[in-house]
């Protein structure tokens, strides 16, 4: 594989890893607070539809983004109400919301645009455009680093850079702020938080809503940056890959970023089987690359790749003991 091809693959990796990263960090907030969320997929889908629709109607990608976040937040709120207020089964709630999103998005897109459940193709301002970073042109002539900067680092939409910023910010929030300390505590031992005089429900709702916002960004990116519009089931399991990445990264933000980049890299390779074959000298089946994130996650869960221990209070509604 020559350098140019490598850069192409890495460029695609970044684009494909972005929605994973946003969704993964989204899930991190919720699960760190002790609320399991297998509904990342649904929230992304809802956001993608809302973003695609509003961007198509207003011609503004930014308004689309706002709508995407709004759509995702509604789903997050329902999940919060079922699992925090009504102490329902968080897994079942997630499954239900994924179904709801899969159906409702097509229904609404169809009723708004009548184009078979997709939103109209977006162009111009309705889509997030690539940003050329400073000096990308001038540095191009510098060997190795120049093309890397120009091809891989520069030339992405603002949401790609936002995703990395979110990772950094999340690390800071989680480990350097009061909110982060409380968030981590409530997912491990809500009774400790409760006896310290802090509202368990308040913290958990906060976390679930942040999950909603970030899934909103992930979905909006899918519809208004990675692709030009919403299409039926366009997230194609990315919510579950993000979940897998979260587990693989043992619920830590920076590790989550690397995992998502790795899983994004697999996706990029799955699009370029020719490259893989050239490198390893034999034909690697594309489905194997597609399945790799899941296989790795199962291995991690089984403790073969370092033990993945979820937050201790995860999945359990908090009830004061008698």
Provide, rounded to whole angstroms, the least separation between the CB of residue 129 and other proteins.
31
Residue (of 161, 176, 159, 180) closest to 251 by Cα position: 180
Residue (of 144, 134, 181, 159) closest to 44 by Cα position: 159
Round to whole Å and give the CA distance between 38 and 320: 25
Give the footprint of other proteins on residues 127-166 (CB under 8 A): none
Contact 162, 148 (CB under 8 A): no
Q: Which region among 53-61, 146-154, 186-194, 256-264 touches other proteins (by CB under 8 A)?
A: 186-194
Give the footprint of other proteins on residues 267-286 (CB under 8 A): 285-286
Round to whole Å and give the CA distance between 166 and 217: 10
Provide, rounded to whole angstroms, the least separation between the CB of residue 159 and other proteins.
25
Provide, rounded to whole angstroms, the least separation between the CB of residue 191 and other proteins.
5
At 214, list the tokens. 């970030």
Q: Does 290 bind other proteins (CB under 8 A)?
A: yes
Q: Does 306 bind other proteins (CB under 8 A)?
A: no
At 278, list the tokens. 């050239």
Out of 38, 209, 242, 276, name the contact with other proteins by CB under 8 A. Answer: 38
Give the footprint of other proteins on residues 82-121 (CB under 8 A): 82-83, 86-93, 95-104, 106-108, 110-111, 117
3-state secondary structure (DSSP) of residue 267: helix
Q: Does 197 bind other proteins (CB under 8 A)?
A: yes
At 189, list the tokens. 């031992």
Q: Which region among 22-30, 208-216, 241-249, 254-262 touches other proteins (by CB under 8 A)?
A: 241-249
């Amino acid at each position: 594989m020559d350098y140019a091809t490598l850069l192409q693959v890495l460029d695609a990796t970044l684009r494909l890893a972005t929605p994973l990263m946003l969704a993964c960090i989204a899930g991190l907030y919720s699960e760190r607070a002790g609320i399991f969320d297998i509904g990342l997929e649904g929230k992304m889908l809802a956001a993608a539809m809302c973003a695609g629709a509003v961007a198509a109607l207003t011609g503004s990608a930014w308004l689309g983004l706002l709508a995407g976040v709004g759509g995702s937040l509604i789903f997050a709120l329902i999940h919060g109400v079922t699992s925090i207020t009504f102490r329902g089964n968080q897994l079942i709630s997630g499954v239900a919301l994924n179904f709801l999103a899969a159906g409702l998005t097509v229904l609404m897109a169809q009723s708004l645009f009548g184009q078979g459940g997709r939103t109209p193709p977006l162009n111009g301002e309705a889509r997030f455009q690539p940003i050329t970073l400073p000096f990308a042109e001038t540095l191009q002539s510098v060997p190795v680093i120049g093309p890397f900067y120009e091809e891989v680092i520069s030339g992405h939409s603002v949401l790609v850079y936002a995703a990395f910023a979110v990772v950094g910010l999340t690390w800071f929030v989680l480990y350097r702020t009061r909110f982060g300390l409380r968030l981590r505590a409530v997912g491990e031992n809500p009774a400790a938080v409760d006896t310290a005089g802090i509202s368990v429900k308040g913290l958990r709702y906060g976390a679930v809503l942040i999950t909603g916002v970030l899934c909103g960004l992930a979905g909006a990116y899918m519809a208004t940056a990675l692709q030009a519009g919403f299409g039926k089931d366009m997230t194609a399991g990315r919510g579950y890959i993000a979940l897998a990445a979260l587990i693989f990264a043992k619920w830590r933000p920076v590790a989550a970023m690397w995992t998502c980049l790795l899983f994004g890299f697999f996706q990029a390779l799955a699009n370029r089987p020719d490259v893989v074959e050239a490198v390893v000298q034999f034909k690697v089946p594309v489905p194997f690359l597609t399945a790799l994130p899941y296989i790795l996650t199962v291995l991690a869960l089984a403790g073969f790749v370092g033990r993945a221990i979820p937050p201790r209070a995860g999945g359990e509604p908090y009830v004061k003991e008698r």
